[in-house]
Amino acid sequence: QRNADATVAVLPVPIEQGSEFGILDVGPDGGNIIRIVQGANALLGVGAIVDNHLAIKSEKVVLLQNETALATAIAVALCAGTGGAVALMDPVPAPEPMWPADVISHFDILTPNATEVGLITGVTPPNLTEGLRVAHVLAENDPAWVLT
């Protein structure tokens, strides 16, 4: 669908695969435990990105998340970049181990939450003050960071 404000692009996957869902539990320490049951996201591969590269690189912003294969997300970011689009990555569920700097550099903006920030920096911000301190440290690096 296309209108003056936004485009929604849907890449096809077989309907019989079904969709993905996640279960959010609270662990013994009070932290989140996210369990993902992959559906259609597991089928989205680099081939679909190659097949749809014209549509992807014509966008202004592409939104990505860590529920698809990392190689696929990187392919989308690279393709989008050829058209000048911004690649925004929400690294959820948190990758363990966290991606190295050379992987993170493929994305223009990352939107980690406190758990993901902890994996990136080694410090999980327990409060807003510590979150701001970590945000300043992250701001010294590329890409841009938005802590959620």
Kindly report, residue by residue over 23-79, the tens digit of the pLDDT.
667 778 777 666 655 566 667 778 878 887 888 888 888 888 888 889 989 999 999
Task: Decide the pairing of beta strands 21-26 and 32-37.
Answer: antiparallel
**How many C-beta atoms lie closer than 10 Å to residue 112's C-beta?**
23
Asked whether residue 119 carries a pLDDT value surpassing 70, the answer given is yes
Contact (CB, 8 A) for 55 and 62: no
The more confidently predicted of residues 88 and 140 is: 88
Quote the pTM value: 0.70
Greater confidence (127 vs 138) lies with 127
CA torsion 13-89-69-60 (nearest 10°) is: 40
Q: What integer is the mean pLDDT of 1-21?
A: 48
